[in-house]
Amino acid sequence: MNLPARLPVLQRDPTKKSSWRDEARHAITDLAALEARLKLTPSEREGVQRALAQGLPLSITPYYLSLCDREDPSCPIRRQCDGNFPLLRRLSHPETL
């Protein structure tokens, strides 16, 4: 299995220890910032837009995002970041519940 290289925009100085406050401060909180770091599919983009429109917060720490494969939309960690969840789709259409 090929492990993805760390995203260059997320690499930190190895001599400095990152605190949880630094991670929270630099969290990805909008679609534009996420698109700058991951190659999103149309489905992923729609999932993030839907989540944000329904008031669900987007907050992905740099460390967690660095675990995602930038190119592979089937990456299990990445799939937890895109807001494209079956339950969310059902909630956006209450008539299907």
Give the span between the Cα atoms of 59 and 73, in whole angstroms.
Answer: 18
Q: How many CB atoms lie within 10 A of CB 71?
A: 10
Task: Look at residue 14 in the predicted model and tell me its pLDDT.
Answer: 59
60 burial type by CB count under 10 A (0-12 exposed, 13-18 middle, 19+ buried): buried
* pLDDT score of 39: 92
Which tops the pLDDT comparison, 14 or 33? 33
Half-sphere exposure of 88 (CA within 13 A, CB side): 17
What pLDDT is recorded for position 30? 93
pLDDT at position 34: 93
Number of residues written out for the chain = 97
Q: Are the beta carbons of 7 and 75 closer than 8 angstroms?
A: no
Query: Model pTM?
Result: 0.68
pLDDT tens readout for residues 33-61: 999 999 999 988 988 898 889 888 899 99
pLDDT at residue 88 greater than cutoff 70: no
E strands present in the chain: none
